[in-house]
Structure 1
Amino acid sequence: MKYQVDKNGFYGEFGGAYVPEILYATVKNLQEQYLGIIETEEFKQEYHQLLKDYVGRPSPLYFASRMSEKYGCQLYLKREDLNHTGAHKINNTIGQILLAKKMGKTRIIAETGAGQHGVATATVCALMGMKCEVFMGATDVERQHTNVERMKMLGAEVHPVRTGNMTLSDACSEAIRDWCCHPSDTFYIVGSTMGPHPYPDLVARMQSVISEEIKWQLEEKIGRDYPDYLIACIGGGSNAAGTIYHYMDDERVKIVLAEAGGHGWQTDHTAATIHKGTTGILHGAKMLVMQNEDGQIEEAFTISAGLDYPGVGPMHCNMAKQGRTQILAINDDEAIRGGYELTRMEGIIPAIESAHAIAALEKMKFKKDDVVVLTVSGRGDKDVETYLKNKEMAGEYGNF
């Protein structure tokens, strides 16, 4: 498994656990315990039972006939938007809350950008009767107001973070600060394939249910268990990790990931970390980060709150560096257009994050019989105001 994490928590040169001394014992404890817990039959049974009866898995693999015709391929959509809470994030929070319980933790913290991970964390805390606090950049609190209210309804305390540009990266920093103050009773449910080892591996494993299902669903539909192409959007990288997990070493499958170009990856208003980033350390791991020559973190910029992060998970950094994945930078206007296109052609309003993956189709050339699986990571209810505010970017789809 050449793209998996090694015993020291590295993917090639990326990864590791660079944590403040006060967190060392907590992180070490998690490293030593997580596999032993999540690989037990008891854990697996409880996890899969909740995925089935509570989350509503398996999520459908839907053949998008009109878009298949338009792009000259066989396009299947993996419908993570149909999960309980409206995104892939719940797959991971269910697993991590079970882990937290088995480790005897009583308080949960999380960071969130678009609010989907925050909602998913608040949801599982309500389910398990645990105290939940969510850190969210003040900019995102404003642009994802509905999700903030959902979190509060679920009983979570939401802390608006007013440092930096008040988005996802700042929320992560604040969550880590809080964790430093409460290391013994607090479990930090990280929402993406980032953070110190073992989080990138833990989150990828919890999301791997996506590609596990794709395998048997394709077998059922087309008589083989692999596609020619896998496409997903990528910020920190959790839905991308889940989509590709069981195909990483299968060279027959081309992997295309869409990151947020913002106003263009060559500009200062972008979140296209794999295009623009250099190796650095952020939030406990070595990864590609957007930074200046003094190593100061640059602000990420994109219309999409969930992709607004100046780093990208170490697993993805390594795969991109090895040439295993093709990374496309999708600008704001292209993403808005992609979102409207899926809405008009298939009757599915995707999250703006997922719309970046849709927009990637236009930049690719397919053969008629190419089987393409694209993950719709979340639904667009939370983004309707942003779509409406920017409908002039949607071209012919914006006229209504």
Structure 2
Amino acid sequence: MNLQALSLHHAISLPSLNPNNSTTLGFRLPSHRGFKVTSVMSPQHTWTQTWKTDVLRLIDETEESLFKTGKFGRFGGVFVPETLITCLNMLLSEFSFCLNDPHFQGELATALRDYVGRETPLYFAQRLTDHYKNSRGEGPEIYLKREDLNHGGAHKINNAIAQAMLAKRMGRRSIVAATGAGQHGVATAAACAKLDMECTIIMGDVDVARQSHNVRLMKLLGAQVKSIKGSFKDATSEAIREWVGDLERKYYLAGTAVGPHPCPAMVREFQSVIGKETRKQAMEKWGGKPDVLVACVGSGSNALGLFHEFVRDEDVRLIGVEAAGTNIDGGTHSATLAKGEIGVYHGAMTYLLQDDDGQIVGPHSVGVGLEYPGVSPELSFLRDIGRAEIHTATDEEALDAYALLCRLEGICPALEASHALAHLGKLCSTLPSGTKVVVNCSGRGDKDIETVFKHQQQKSGGELTTFL
């Protein structure tokens, strides 16, 4: 990829994008090293040292300027080839119109209710609550936002159906999407079947092997599933290339809150129904707001879906839990916000997992949907200004949390969501009794049963009876 110009504060233009380039779409210097930012802040913008009283001001300023700048503080932007600028501007215009169009909003509300199955319950997990009480019987109250009960088994359908409707309004007939764990692929395939649109889902061969259940389901829903060498990050790059190759007919349906503006804002907006329902349901159940919100963080769609409604409520803690994998200090993890550095990848500036030369470091997590080397620019912003807390959970902790929720509540969570559940073991002992904690159970774990079962078998020395 030939890079001619680069600005840290404005979008860049590239003369061409080589569809045969086998590398990911992180923008490279002529030496093919990644673009790595060590310091881009001027003295008057020390985001990481912002006083607490300034947090709301920064959030408000960012929201006011977002549709003009495409940035969340210093993060985000539009770092793309010139060939994509017009297409992204058209998308931004259509998205902005749909946000205020009663007809589109009415159709979307109907689809979310009658097709997706919203609203999803805010479920009081009594036995899980009791499990984390101290010896005096004190502890927080734990609620689960049951996104696993959506059609397709995950939060992904909220965004997929909305974007597919938007794409059809724009006259696009063919949808292309990338998926890792397969939940976004299933959601996109289902939305395309409903709206009579062509659908191509691209997956890395590593994920195809691990998520065969979802691959079969996507094909039954009428999607063409294209396998390429690599994992989710490679599939994302390939999906973008396919889109660039036919901008007039195809639509790239982003499932994650990453990429060039307006993709992060669009995914967040369509997922924010999660938090809006949570506020309403909390008021109905106990007459107030949650005290703590907990969500797993891969690239950020489910976390922002829960957080966005409460981001200005400073008395509500926002806790994101990343994947510590098997060795957070040795590189086998997906903890981008905890361990990453700033760079440009897939069209936006954000935190990335990269080496000293700026090369992307392959992520790892037992929760396949968390395996992405970048993260939402908005979450990067919220982390930097101190609004969102970032913690991590290991593969083993997530596997154990999955089994625990199965045994105590009869609920089978996705391994991605299990990272958020795993953090309860560290969090609950620090909270006053009666604190209301909401965990986003962002997906159903049918796809992960074999992985968890093997883990339990190994822990019990080959005896399955302890798990069964």
TM-score by length of 2: 0.83
| Secondary structure, aligned partner of 1:344 | helix
How far the C-alpha of 1:47 sits from its partner, in A, is: 0.3
Aligned equivalents of 1:14, 1:398: Cα separation in 2: 47
| 1:210-359 matched pairs, under 5 angstroms | 210-224=274-288, 226-359=289-422
Choose the corresponding residue for 1:366, options 431, 444, 453.
431
Larger Rg: 2
How far the C-alpha of 1:398 sits from its partner, in A, is: 5.6
Corresponding residue for 1:112? 179
| Secondary structure, aligned partner of 1:232 | strand
Aligned equivalents of 1:333, 1:398: Cα separation in 2: 17
Tell me, yes or no, if the aligned pair for 2:98 and 2:105 is still in contact at 8 Å.
Answer: no
How far the C-alpha of 1:288 sits from its partner, in A, is: 0.3
Corresponding residue for 1:93? 160
How far the C-alpha of 1:33 sits from its partner, in A, is: 2.4
Asked if 1:391 is matched to 2:452, the reply is: no
How far the C-alpha of 1:184 sits from its partner, in A, is: 1.3
- Size of the alignment, in residue pairs? 396
Aligned equivalents of 1:131, 1:94: Cα separation in 2: 14
Choose the corresponding residue for 2:218, options 135, 146, 151.
151
Tell me, yes or no, if the aligned pair for 2:94 and 2:166 is still in contact at 8 Å.
Answer: no
How far the C-alpha of 1:70 sits from its partner, in A, is: 2.1
Structure 1 alignment gaps of length 5 or more: none
Corresponding residue for 1:8? 69
**Amino acid of the structure 2 residue aligned with 1:256:** I
| Percent identity between the two aligned chains | 44
Aligned equivalents of 2:345, 2:201: Cα separation in 1: 20
| 1:154-173 matched pairs, under 5 angstroms | 154-162=221-229, 166-173=230-237
Choose the corresponding residue for 1:197, options 257, 261, 265.
261
Corresponding residue for 1:178? 242
Tell me, yes or no, if the aligned pair for 1:108 and 1:189 is still in contact at 8 Å.
Answer: yes
Corresponding residue for 1:381? 446
How far the C-alpha of 1:394 sits from its partner, in A, is: 6.4
Asked if 1:138 is matched to 2:205, the reply is: yes
How far the C-alpha of 1:392 sits from its partner, in A, is: 5.0
Aligned equivalents of 1:349, 1:369: Cα separation in 2: 25
How far the C-alpha of 1:388 sits from its partner, in A, is: 1.1
Going from structure 1 to structure 2, the CA distance change for 1:397 and 1:80 (only over 3 Å counts) comes to farther
Deviations along 1:165-184, one digit per CA (max 9) or x if unpaired, are: x1111111111111111111
Structure 2 alignment gaps of length 5 or more: 1-55, 133-138
How far the C-alpha of 1:320 sits from its partner, in A, is: 0.7
Tell me, yes or no, if the aligned pair for 1:114 and 1:140 is still in contact at 8 Å.
Answer: yes
Tell me, yes or no, if the aligned pair for 1:67 and 1:346 is still in contact at 8 Å.
Answer: yes
TM-score by length of 1: 0.96
Deviations along 1:139-196, one digit per CA (max 9) or x if unpaired, are: 000000000000000111111111xxx1111111111111111111111110010011
Aligned equivalents of 1:295, 1:323: Cα separation in 2: 26
Tell me, yes or no, if the aligned pair for 2:173 and 2:249 is still in contact at 8 Å.
Answer: yes
Aligned equivalents of 2:291, 2:281: Cα separation in 1: 15
**Amino acid of the structure 2 residue aligned with 1:299:** G
**Amino acid of the structure 2 residue aligned with 1:355:** S
